């Protein structure tokens, strides 16, 4: 009797992950396909529907660090988002307003 209960318990433990996997909703794909023009010392860029993250190339001098004040995200229709940068900052992330999140193309520059 105990042996049968142990076997049944083992089978239940083995079947639980498979059952949960079948019932768990699939992760949605939040990535977006759009043209993005990068201008300036930008090392990498990632995006989802309404969020961007930009990694900057570290400044080579103090003068260059001080010149980098703003990351500007703009679209063809004139919508613009300005993200302030601190001296020496090497990445910036922001949620895009609806006009930029829905844009077919973006331009990202460092000023």
> Which residues contact residue 89 at a Cβ distance below 8 angstroms, ignoring those fewer than 6 apart?
56, 68
Rounded distance between C-alpha atoms, residue 91 and residue 109, angstroms = 13
In this prediction, residue 28 has a pLDDT band, given cuts at 50, 70 and 90, of low
For each of the domains in the chain, give its residue range(s) and CATH number, in order of start. 35-110 (2.60.40)
Rg from Cα positions in the chain: 24
Please tell me whether the overall predicted TM-score, pTM, comes out greater than 0.85 for this model: no
Rounded distance between C-alpha atoms, residue 33 and residue 108, angstroms = 15
Rounded distance between C-alpha atoms, residue 53 and residue 89, angstroms = 13
CA 31 vs CA 6, 27, 34, 52: distances in Å: 46, 12, 10, 10
Q: Is the pLDDT of residue 69 over 90?
A: yes
Q: Is the pLDDT of residue 11 over 90?
A: no
Rounded distance between C-alpha atoms, residue 42 and residue 111, angstroms = 11
Residue 99 Cα to chain centre, angstroms: 18
- What mean pLDDT comes out for the span 74-103? 94
């Amino acid at each position: 009797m105990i042996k049968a209960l142990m076997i049944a318990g083992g089978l239940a433990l083995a079947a639980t992950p498979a059952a949960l996997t079948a019932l768990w909703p699939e992760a949605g794909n939040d990535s977006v396909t759009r043209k993005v023009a990068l201008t300036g010392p930008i090392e990498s860029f990632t995006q989802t529907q309404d969020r961007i993250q930009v990694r900057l190339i570290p400044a080579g001098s103090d003068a260059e660090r001080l010149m980098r004040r703003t990351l500007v995200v703009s679209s063809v229709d004139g919508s613009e988002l300005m993200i302030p940068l601190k001296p020496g900052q090497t990445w910036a992330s922001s949620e895009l307003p609806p006009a930029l999140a829905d844009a077919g193309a973006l331009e990202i520059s460092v000023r």
